[in-house]
Amino acid sequence: MGLFSESVDVICTDQGQPLEVTWKGTSYKVTGEPNRWFERRKWWAEETRAPIGSGAGLVDHEIWRVQLENTITLDVVRHLGSGRWRLLRIHDAAPARAVEPDEAA
Amino acid sequence: MSFTHLHVATAFSAHYGVSWPDELAQAAAADSATALACTDRDGLYGTVKHIKACMDAGIDPIVGVDLAVFDDDGDHRTRISGRVVVLAHGNNNGAGYRALCRLISDAHARTSGKAGGTIPVAVTRSELASRTLDPQTLKPVLTVLIGPDSDVGQSMGGRKYLRPRTLFNEWINAMPPGTIVAETVTHLSAPGEPLSTAHAVRMLKLALEYNVPAILSNAVRYCAQDGAATADVLDSARTLKSLPELSTAPMLQPTGQGWLKNAHQMLQLGKEIMGAAGLGKADLHKLLSNTEALADKCRINPVLDMGWKTPVVPEASIIGIEKDPMVELSERCNAGISRRFPGISGSAEERLRSRLDHELGIIGNLGFGSYFLTVAEVSRMILEMGVRVAARGSGASSLVNYLIDISQVDPIRHDLIFERFLSGRRSTLPDIDIDVESAERHNVYRKIFDRFGAERVTLMSMQNGYRARGAVRDAGMALGMDEGEISGIAKQLWRFSARKFREALVEKPELREFAGRVERGALEENQQLDLLVDLTERLDRLPRHISMHPCGVILGDATLLDRTPVQPSGLGLPMSQFDKHDMDPMGMLKLDVLGVRMQSAMAFAVREVIRLHPGKDEVVKAGRHPIGPGGSGPDYIAPDGRIDLNAVPFDDQATYELIRSTHTLGCFQIESPGQRELIGKMAPREFNDLIIDISLFRPGPMKSDMVRPFLEHRHGFAPEVYPHPDLKPVLEETHGVTVFHEQILKTFDVMTKCGLDRADEFRRALGDEVHEPGVEKFFRKEAIKNYPPEVVDKVWGTLKAFGSFGFCKAHGAAFAVPTYQSAWLKTHHPEAFLAGLWEHDPGMYPKRLLVAEARRLGIPILPLDINRSHAEYRVEKILEGPDAGKLGIRLSLTGIYGLSGAELKRIVAGQPYDSLADLRARARVSKPNIKRLAQLGAFDALHRDSGGKANRADLVQHLQALQTTPARKAAEVIEGQLSFALGDVELRNLPPELPAPTRVENVRAELDLMAMDVSEHLMESHRPLLDKLGVTTADKLLGLRNGTEVLVAGVRVATQTPPMRGGRRVVFISIDDGTGCVDSVFFHEAQEESGPLLFGTRMLLIRGTTRRTGPRGISLSASKAWDLSKPETLPYAELLPSGGGLPDEYTRHGPLHGISRNLAITGLGS
């Protein structure tokens, strides 16, 4: 397991839930129900501006934990401004287990 | 479907909530919600605004509070075990709202009301339990939400399965049945963290297990996502920790999801919780329907539950009235006629009576009789205390107020209109403002509490919001920036809204340097300054805390504390959580009892006069008062020498002469630089001139250029013009220029016959985008019936332009009374008056300027003396020396840096002292303070009398040395034992070693310890340099012709940036050079030239050209300024074009050098 910041392509349902992930040139189907939560960002260190009306995505970002074809578990995050997806973490191979957040971090 | 948010903090949750009630209500209504709760932290601070916002948005308000609960097991006074939300049930004739008010007052009852108190705002669980049931019916009237911030919610982390259940069970056992619900919240944080879906699931399951209803909320802190960052900064300001610190703790909100989510989003959250809990549709439906059922139970009917807009005044019986209040009021008015208008008869009496009947008719119809009697009672009570009292504001328009002694202004004589104050078309209680001596204000408050009973009285509060300086400080702290750096930036922020910080960076010369750093910072990836600007703008106007309003006292009947929560104020008296905007909606009677320092100063002066001159003849002689035909002096001086200021006629020519001289420093309302300029131009001759002067010197008239035409007409430079002869009687007193509200009313009435009551409504609508067009339509339609179109056009133009700016003549008249009285005192008893000013410091200037004014008037300033100085300033007759026969002012021992109130009391009680040892033994003054007194020369006389040869410097050195040696036990003096009158051996034997302190050193000590320059003016020591530079002094300016280029120098006494026509900022800086004040104006170019010197410096050298403003007035149009305290920065080459050598002393530092303690020395503003 490790921390990455690598671009991935994600195809979502209308509700915004990931269906398919393209990683290193390969497309994978998302299997099982993906988990979703929000995490804080250290926006005061990462951003140069925070004007009124910046909107969503300054303080937190949305993280999806997806299991790809029952083998790989990834945490991916979507950047709200650009809509681009990044790979945040790669977890051990299946079976996916409940990961305590402090472990994951 | 719609969803009702039951847990919402507004911006009025200080340092917590982000959004304003109307934003939230609008957003809720836009999402088709039918109700919205406001549950501010610790009180109902935003409740009334919330109710209004909901009514405007067409939804039902729900009212509650977010309160901390004491830990039952812990130390009751300080330990908190989480927070709960408490909602009031509605539509029960206020039973729920009452209980909520009382509960909140309980939560505050133990706190000190002072900053930094150790006891938190919180309730015990038993208080909570007892308040949830109505005392009459014993039915539940409050519902408590046990949510994520409660002890139960906080125990959900980790794997402690038992703890939440134990705690939840405790709640169930402690609270009456049917008074609690479980509040499930998910902010979608990572699994297992606070506010995660997993925690919501555990709360839901607890509720199901114990059969307690569960509801869904979003614990809202901001209206939309954008507010999350602001909430972070507020968390930082509340906890006084930077964001990086809070992030590590971790103490920040786990996500930014606490916004007012819409019904669809809330449904999704519900589904997510049910999914994670393994529950289904039925349970989801139950959760949402529980939420709506609770919302329905808590819908508040503002009128029936809270008495919305229903005025409540004290019961007539409490002021001793058994009969119909209107009958009582009429009787008192009739009695007042013979007192106020002795001997009135014939048609004058008829007019008076018809005016009185008119006023009483309106008051009777509105049912406000007991209101007037209440105010009269307060007024009477204050007078009985022997305190000066005067009505201010539009209340002076009422004959009833004049007849029952609320007001001192005769509305008939000054032609004031009752409808400006009250009419049948207004249903809110009118404002009557009462000015009292500032020094007596708290005593007056206590007396009102005593008189009406603590259950009927509370102080009003005020909200203090972020302004630019506070916002930049807290934003800087959040970012973890260096404190010194932030202070440096904050000092340059001068009176603009924090929201316009970025705009100001571009425009304001004093921020130029900072703007440059922001720009460079962005390039060098030093991101903080840019963020600092953004965060400062985010904080703008957000409430920081409430405090006691400077004058508002709320009076009600015995149910007052059922209608407003109260908390201790710093004064110890209870304070309502409602502010002035909440008064009318809540039907509360607010009396403005304002402490006016000038009233204290004048009362002080009158007491000094009688102390110095005990007897009428002496006072008449000293004050050069008219002896009169009877030879016994005027009636307003009593045989014992007491002056009845209110009885002094308004026609004293010597007083108007002083006013016209523009030497009006210290006079009420006419001492500011702008006012001195205006009176110089206007040259007032009579009382009505003062009323006009005060009314003209307002932002509106100044901004809309009413002053110039008025002055031209007044001095006959241009003929007076009236739009129509019918308007001549209306506008004559102001030479055809519309100045007063009263004139607007009459103009409407004359031209449209609309009646004065409607006219006042029209006046209020002027300048209002929505209502003004209707007024214009009406005016044109009616006026055209009797007047030609060009007259109608012209008059409408005037009404439209000036109507919203004009000033109420009644205000002007009420203000002009103390203006005249203070000028009268300055004219006739300047020593006593200045002593009063020094004692009570009423004006806009630093006190040291009034010391300089005494020096200018040739009044001797008598030094501090341990045996002659008292706890207040005193006028003394000088018996010997060059000033023998004159009156001088002796400095007071109060206000010396470091000297405590207790020491001061002991010193004064023990006077006189024959030695330092005597002072130490009896007054027990600390060593550092004895040294300070010595520095100020308080022992000089004692020292001289002892026959010692040493000087003040030797004594200070001696005392300094003593400070470092340990204290010996003082020789005990046995009661009744006679001590030898040896004089002071210690002083006599002091060896003379050091040179005497220089003038500069003495003045520096005075400035440092008293914020005043006493021995000489602080500019004196700069004189050689200034002479060399060819600086012109203030007293010489008047002799120069218009447009002369001069250099002036002095210490700053005032800085003002009034609103200006055209919107470009103009900065007025006044400096004092010892011969008087120089008022200089910095226009755009000069501001650019002077940059950071505009607001940051205490001593200025200014170059400019003279502008003659009137026969006795001259000011300076500045072109550039330098900092005189940094002589090395002065461009001598530029200033001394002759190329002459520099004076030797040019780098010598003046008395102000090195003093950073006291900003009150100069007029730098806050």
Cβ-in-10-Å burial (0-12, 13-18, 19+) of A52 comes to middle
B760 Cβ contact partners less than 8 Å away, ≥ 6 residues apart: B417, B419, B420, B423, B425, B745
Alpha-carbon distances of B1109 from B450, B679, B697, B1117, rounded to whole Å: 53, 10, 15, 11
pTM summary value: 0.82
Contact B404, B340 (CB under 8 A): no
Q: Which amino acid is at B616?
A: K
Pairing of strands B589-596, B543-555: antiparallel
Q: From CA B39, how far away is CA B82, in angstroms rounded? A: 16
* Tokens 């005192």 found at: B825
Report the candidate in B622, B7, B35 with the shortest Cα–Cα distance to residue B297.
Answer: B35
| Angle ∠(B962,B1152,B1103) on CA atoms, nearest 5 | 170
Average pLDDT over residues B955-972: 72
Contact B678, B697 (CB under 8 A): yes
Cβ-in-10-Å burial (0-12, 13-18, 19+) of A14 comes to exposed
Q: From CA B1058, how far away is CA B1065, in angstroms rounded? A: 8
Judged by a CB distance cut-off of 8 A, whether residue B192 touches chain A is yes
What is the 3 state secondary structure string of B466-500?
A: CCHHHHHHHHHHHCCCCHHHHHHHHHCCCCCCHHH
Q: Do A44 and B479 touch (CB under 8 A)?
A: yes
Report the candidate in B7, B17, B544 with the shortest Cα–Cα distance to residue B231.
Answer: B17
Contact B894, B904 (CB under 8 A): yes
Judged by a CB distance cut-off of 8 A, whether residue B188 touches chain A is yes
pLDDT (0 to 100) of residue B452: 93
Judged by a CB distance cut-off of 8 A, whether residue B436 touches chain A is no
Judged by a CB distance cut-off of 8 A, whether residue B243 touches chain A is yes
DSSP state letters, B521-532:
HHHTT-THHHHH
pLDDT (0 to 100) of residue B1165: 42
Q: From CA B1054, how far away is CA B672, in angstroms rounded? A: 8
* Tokens 């003379």 found at: B992
pLDDT (0 to 100) of residue A64: 93
Q: Which residues in A lie closer than 8 A to residue B251 (C-beta atoms)?
A: none
The per-residue pLDDT for range B70-81, each reduced to its tens digit, is 998 766 667 899
pLDDT exceeds 50 at position B414? yes
pLDDT (0 to 100) of residue B431: 79
pLDDT exceeds 90 at position B946? no
Contact B401, B418 (CB under 8 A): no
Q: Do A38 and B189 touch (CB under 8 A)?
A: yes
The distance of B30 to chain A (nearest Cα, Å) reads: 19
Dihedral of alpha carbons B1014, B1019, B1025, B1029, sign? negative
Give the tokens for residue B519: 């720009």
Q: Do B192 and A100 touch (CB under 8 A)?
A: yes
Q: Which residues in A lie closer than 8 A to residue B278 (C-beta atoms)?
A: none
Q: Do B255 and A40 touch (CB under 8 A)?
A: yes
DSSP state letters, B729-787:
HHHGGGTT---BHHHHHHHHHHHH---HHHHHHHHHHTT-TTTHHHHHHHHHHHHTTTS
Q: Do A40 and B257 touch (CB under 8 A)?
A: no
Q: Which residues pair with B574 in a beta bridge?
A: B568
Q: Do B534 and A44 touch (CB under 8 A)?
A: no
Give the tokens for residue B141: 């009237």
Average pLDDT over residues B708-724: 87
Q: Do B256 and A45 touch (CB under 8 A)?
A: no
Q: From CA B242, how far away is CA B232, in angstroms rounded? A: 10
Report the candidate in B317, B227, B302, B305 with the shortest Cα–Cα distance to residue B24.
Answer: B227
pLDDT exceeds 60 at position B978? no
Average pLDDT over residues B1122-1131: 81
Confidence band for B980, pLDDT divided at 50, 70 and 90:
very low
Q: From CA B239, how far away is CA B242, in angstroms rounded? A: 9
Q: From CA B981, how far away is CA B987, in angstroms rounded? A: 14
Contact B1146, B1127 (CB under 8 A): yes
Radius of gyration (Cα) for chain B, nearest Å? 34
The per-residue pLDDT for range B243-269, each reduced to its tens digit, is 999 999 889 999 999 999 999 999 999
Which is more confidently placed, B158 or B966?
Answer: B158
Contact B916, B860 (CB under 8 A): no
H or E element at residue B432: none
Q: Which residues in B lie closer than 8 A to residue A104 (C-beta atoms)?
A: 190
Q: From CA B85, how far away is CA B73, in angstroms rounded? A: 21
Which is more confidently placed, B33 or B1124?
Answer: B33
Q: What is the dihedral of CA B9, B12, B18, B20, to 10 degrees?
A: 100
Judged by a CB distance cut-off of 8 A, whether residue A24 touches chain B is no
H or E element at residue B692: helix B687-696
pLDDT > 70 fraction of chain B, expressed in percent and rounded: 94
pLDDT > 90 fraction of chain B, expressed in percent and rounded: 61
Contact B897, B928 (CB under 8 A): no
Q: What is residue B1146's DSSP assignment?
A: G
The per-residue pLDDT for range B1027-1045, each reduced to its tens digit, is 888 899 998 998 899 999 9
Lowest mean pLDDT among B457-471, B1101-1115, B1144-1158: B1144-1158
Q: Which residues pair with B643 in a beta bridge?
A: B637
The per-residue pLDDT for range B1074-1093, each reduced to its tens digit, is 898 999 999 888 888 887 78
pLDDT exceeds 50 at position B1166? no
pLDDT exceeds 50 at position B977? no
Give the tokens for residue B1019: 């500019």
Q: How many CB pairs under 8 A join A and B?
A: 93
Contact B943, B978 (CB under 8 A): no
B135 Cβ contact partners less than 8 Å away, ≥ 6 residues apart: none
The per-residue pLDDT for range B179-208, each reduced to its tens digit, is 999 999 999 999 889 999 999 999 999 999
pLDDT (0 to 100) of residue B103: 98
B871 Cβ contact partners less than 8 Å away, ≥ 6 residues apart: B892, B893, B894, B904, B905, B908
Q: Do B531 and A104 touch (CB under 8 A)?
A: no
Measure CA of the first residue to CA of the last residue in chain A; give whole Å. 10
Q: From CA B9, how far away is CA B16, in angstroms rounded? A: 8
Give the tokens for residue B926: 């600390």
Q: From CA B65, how far away is CA B128, in angstroms rounded? A: 12
Alpha-carbon distances of B470 from B464, B543, B946, rounded to whole Å: 11, 11, 53
pLDDT exceeds 90 at position B430? no
Q: Which residues pair with B575 in a beta bridge?
A: B459, B567
DSSP state letters, B244-281:
HHHHHTT-S-SSS--B---HHHHHHHHHHHHHHHT--H
Radius of gyration (Cα) for chain A, nearest Å? 14
Q: What is residue B717's DSSP assignment?
A: S
Respond yes or no on whether the N-terminal peptide bond of residue B250 is cis (omega within 30° of 0): yes
In the sheet where B874-877 sits, what is the strand order? B861-862, B887-890, B874-877
Average pLDDT over residues A34-39: 91
The per-residue pLDDT for range B553-587, each reduced to its tens digit, is 999 999 999 999 999 998 889 999 999 999 999 99
Q: From CA B606, how far away is CA B604, in angstroms rounded? A: 5
pLDDT (0 to 100) of residue B368: 87
Instruction: Give the residue from A15, A39, A48 with the most B CB atoms within 10 Å of its CB, the best one to mutate.
Output: A48
Give the tokens for residue B139: 């039915």
Contact B477, B242 (CB under 8 A): yes
Q: Do A40 and B247 touch (CB under 8 A)?
A: yes
- Give the CA count within 13 Å in the CB-facing half-sphere of B603: 19
Which is more confidently placed, B438 or A16?
Answer: B438
Contact B101, B560 (CB under 8 A): no
Q: What is residue B870's DSSP assignment?
A: -
Lowest mean pLDDT among B30-44, B313-327, B365-379, B1128-1142: B1128-1142
Cβ-in-10-Å burial (0-12, 13-18, 19+) of B202 comes to buried
Residues within 8 A of A (CB atoms), B 208-227 only: 224-226
pLDDT exceeds 50 at position B932? yes
Instruction: Give the residue from A13, A33, A36, A38 with the most B CB atoms within 10 Å of its CB, the best one to mutate.
Output: A38
